[in-house]
Amino acid sequence: MYQLRLVLSRVSPLIWRRFLVSTATSLAQLHAYIQIAFHWSGEHLHRFRIQGKDHGIAYRGGISVSDNPHTVPLSYFRLYPRERFRYEYDFTAGWEIEIRLEKVLPMKWGCRVQVCSAGRGAVPGEEHAGPLAYLQHMDRHRHEFPFKALGTMAEVIQRWLDSGGDRWVVDDFDDLREAIERVSAYRKFQPHRFSRREVNRKLLETSFVEDHGAVA
């Protein structure tokens, strides 16, 4: 087995994941595992840069690859401990993940492969147009607490309480709805949240599908 450490480049605080995968894992499978671990959709183009060569899905006007990523296992590259390679996703946004082989481990009987053993940080959603846009969003989240939106909600609630529960005292539902949405968005954005259990559940589902031949 390979113990891999995946770090999202050009983002601070550090966002990373640690994987245990079989050396027989294909590049196509590793791509799928990365998409799961980083909560991406797989809708954008990607490629691996390994030992000076591009690997991925060939596309018109883009990279040309001679190898089928579904048939190229990680063992093909004869990686050595601490060797690094790169995964790139969404060439417009410019997401890059540095992958380092931390350890080569013996395969244990009964041990399930493709396991996320550790990690830190929530991954930027694909609505962010790259690392810089995400860092700017982080900065706004840190310094622009929605005080005004909370004040709007508090005023409406107070009028409602003073009226004895008369809903008609709320004279502008659009302003109230906008305030609620802003506070909700602020609350949902949790840059430090990471659920290893959720990632492993999705990895297990992917493994089940692959084992039954639904994924090439």
- Over residues 12-32, the pLDDT tens digits come to 778 899 999 999 999 999 999
pLDDT confidence tier of residue 142, bands split at 50, 70 and 90? low
Q: Is there a single domain that holds both residue 99 and residue 154?
A: no
Q: For the stretch 89-126, what's the b/e string if a residue is b when 16 or more beta carbons lie within 10 angstroms of its beta carbon? A: bbeebebbbebbbeeeeeeeeeeebbbbeebebbbbeb
Q: What is the dihedral of CA 148, 152, 157, 158, to 10 degrees?
A: 90
Q: What is the pTM of this model?
A: 0.69
Decide if 128 is inside a domain.
no
Number of structural domains (the chain) is 2
- Please state, in angstroms and rounded to a whole number, the distance separating the CA atoms of residues 116 and 20: 6
pLDDT of residue 186: 60
The string of pLDDT tens digits covering residues 73-113 is 999 999 999 999 999 998 888 889 999 999 999 877 655 56
Q: Is there a single domain that holds both residue 91 and residue 138?
A: no
Tell me the backbone φ, ψ of residue 84, rounded to 5 degrees: -120, 150
Residue 7 has pLDDT above 80, yes or no: yes
Q: Is there a single domain that holds both residue 110 and residue 199?
A: yes
Q: Is there a single domain that holds both residue 107 and residue 12?
A: yes
Looking only at the bridges linking them, the beta strands covering 115-120 and 95-104 are unpaired
Q: Is there a single domain that holds both residue 16 and residue 37?
A: yes
Return the bridge partners of 85, or none. Answer: 99
Give the 3-state secondary structure of residue 196. Answer: helix
pLDDT of residue 147: 61
- Please state, in angstroms and rounded to a whole number, the distance separating the CA atoms of residues 148 and 140: 15
Decide if 216 is inside a domain.
no
pLDDT of residue 185: 66
Q: Is there a single domain that holds both residue 204 and residue 183?
A: no
